[in-house]
């Protein structure tokens, strides 16, 4: 049974659900409840804290929205695993390099690796004609033995033919391109959106159908603006977090004011 330590002050003006939130979060943040631990059931919490099930449910819902707990249908409520951070912008690295630099143990399962004619969507992203030969690689990436992301990569065959016969089970795609193909990625463009897991994705990532995923679509380019890779990746929403570095751009009005102060002539807007 949960040790309440008189967590709920029934004489306080603070709502019961807020007091319970703080009590439960305290157990998680202090380490009393570890990641993966199952927390007491709603009836047990009601009995332990002397409050109604409505209050308990409201508190658990708020804590779940913060990502501290995860409810599993038919199994119970568990303390969430800490999310794995990845760089999203301003630092163009592959998943393998990003995770290794952060000290994580990485494993890769190559689901398929073949040479195919590019379908229309892939051809558009790579700036080639439909039917152009491309290398199609689909991988399931693990962090500490847990499946985290499914990545599908497409690259023009003519720019890196060596890749067609290379096993990427335990190596970085970007490192191979640079070291073996003499191809260096200069920049990329990425988009991000939230989607729900379909049956295949759920099975591979060991999650429920409809669970939240973070979808990344990205095109990487060479220095001369030639597209070298299009990739489509779905990350587990319960285990992934993306970091973005922001750079403040001075507003045009501020720049004009500064230039005027320095007595510099501005070009005409015409």
CATH number at residue 57: 1.10.10.10
- Tell whether 266 is covered by a domain: no
- Three-class SS state of 134: strand
- With a cut of 90, say whether residue 83 has pLDDT above it: no
What whole-number distance in Å separates Cα of residue 112 and Cα of residue 138? 5
Indicate whether 182 belongs to any domain: yes
> Which range, 95-99, 222-226, 234-238, 256-260, has the best average confidence (pLDDT)?
222-226
Do the Cβ atoms of 108 and 70 come closer than 8 Å?
Answer: no
From CA 9, how far away is CA 105, in angstroms rounded? 45
| Together in a domain, 218 and 97 | yes
Together in a domain, 47 and 112:
no
- DSSP at 254: H
Residues 70, 169, single domain; the answer is no
Looking at the whole model, is its pTM more than 0.95?
no
Spell out the alpha helix ranges (H) of 84-149: 95-101, 120-126
What 3-state class would DSSP assign to 219? strand
Please name which of 184, 126, 111 lies closest in space to residue 157, comparing C-alpha atoms.
126
Range of the domain at 25: 16-79
pLDDT higher than threshold 70 for residue 246 = no
DSSP label of 15: -
What does the pLDDT look like over 6-41, one tens digit per residue? 578 888 888 898 899 989 988 888 889 988 899 999
Task: List Cβ neighbours of 91 (8 Å cut-off, separation of 6 or more).
Answer: 245
| Residue 47 in domain | yes
Instruction: Tell me if 234 sits within 8 A of 150, measured CB to CB.
Output: yes
Question: For position 13, what pLDDT does the model report?
Answer: 87
- Tell me how many domains the chain contains: 2
Same domain? 88 vs 182: yes
103 & 199 share domain:
yes
Looking at the fold, whether 153 and 235 belong to one and the same domain comes out as yes
49 and 105, same domain (yes or no): no
Same domain membership, residue 122 and residue 66: no
């Amino acid at each position: 049974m949960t040790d309440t330590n008189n967590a709920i002050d029934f004489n306080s003006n603070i709502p019961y659900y807020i007091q319970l939130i703080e009590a439960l979060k305290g157990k998680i943040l202090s380490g009393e409840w570890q990641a993966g631990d199952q927390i007491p059931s709603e009836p047990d919490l009601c009995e332990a804290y002397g409050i109604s099930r409505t209050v308990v449910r409201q508190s658990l819902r708020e804590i779940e929205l913060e990502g501290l707990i995860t409810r599993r249908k038919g199994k119970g409520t568990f303390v969430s695993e800490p999310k794995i951070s990845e760089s999203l912008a301003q630092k163009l690295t592959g998943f393998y390099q990003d995770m290794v630099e952060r000290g994580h143990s990485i494993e890769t399962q190559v689901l398929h690796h073949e040479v195919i004619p590019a379908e229309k969507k892939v051809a558009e992203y790579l700036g080639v004609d439909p039917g152009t030969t491309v290398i199609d690689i689909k991988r399931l990436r693990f962090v500490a033995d847990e499946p985290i992301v499914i990545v599908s990569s497409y690259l023009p065959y003519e720019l890196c033919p060596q890749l067609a016969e290379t096993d990427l089970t335990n190596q970085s795609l970007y490192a191979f391109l640079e070291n073996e193909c003499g191809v260096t990625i200069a920049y990329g463009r990425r988009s991000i959106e939230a989607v729900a897991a379909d049956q295949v994705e759920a099975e591979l990532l060991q999650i429920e159908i409809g669970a939240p995923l973070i979808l990344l679509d990205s095109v990487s380019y060479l220095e001369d603006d030639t597209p070298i890779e299009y990739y489509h990746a779905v990350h587990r929403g319960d285990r992934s977090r993306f970091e973005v570095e922001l750079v403040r751009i001075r507003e045009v009005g501020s720049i004009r004011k500064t230039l005027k102060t320095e007595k510099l002539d501005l070009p005409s807007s015409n």
